[in-house]
Amino acid sequence: MRYLTDRKRAVGMGASKTGTQHHWFMQVSSVALIFLVPLFVFTFGPILGGTYEEIVAYYSRPLPAVIAALTMVVGMMHFKNGCQMALEDYVHGLTGRLLVIFVTCLSYAIAAVSVFALVRIAL
């Protein structure tokens, strides 16, 4: 039987020294989304159900396009960090690492495709 102190048992299993930065980013993105999501809903609502030409004309204006792009980018980065935190906490080993990589790639892809679609509509 080994007699180890609590500190010796915890060596090598501690924090990765990014917890504060991760927590701060989640707080900032949450506050940003508090403002962006209602703005997105109020700018997206009037055009919902419109024809293709009306939607292209509406998102050719800078304000709705910028609000939609910011909402998608900040939302996807918040999603990425939240899923990464949950996966690191509950899924271990190679499966956890692969899922973190998948979620990261998925969130960046969704953000990129949504911004690309808005740019295509605006131009």
CATH code of the domain containing 25: 1.20.1300
Distance of CA 22 to the CA centre of its chain: 12
Instruction: Determine, yes or no, domain membership for 3.
Output: no
- Mean per-residue pLDDT for 62-70? 95
User: Where are the alpha helices (H) located in 1-123, listed in sequence order?
Assistant: 6-10, 19-44, 52-59, 62-90, 93-122
Instruction: Determine, yes or no, domain membership for 1.
Output: no
This model's pTM is above 0.85: no
Domain count, the chain: 1
Instruction: Determine, yes or no, domain membership for 78.
Output: yes
Domain span holding position 111: 19-122
Phi-psi category of residue 93: left, alpha or beta, with phi > 0 → left and psi -120 to 50 → alpha: left
30-45 per-position pLDDT tens digit: 999 999 999 999 999 9
Phi-psi category of residue 2: left, alpha or beta, with phi > 0 → left and psi -120 to 50 → alpha: beta
Q: Report the mean per-residue pLDDT for the chain.
A: 89
Instruction: Determine, yes or no, domain membership for 96.
Output: yes
Instruction: Determine, yes or no, domain membership for 102.
Output: yes
70-114 per-position pLDDT tens digit: 999 999 999 999 999 999 889 999 999 999 999 999 999 999 999
Instruction: Determine, yes or no, domain membership for 23.
Output: yes
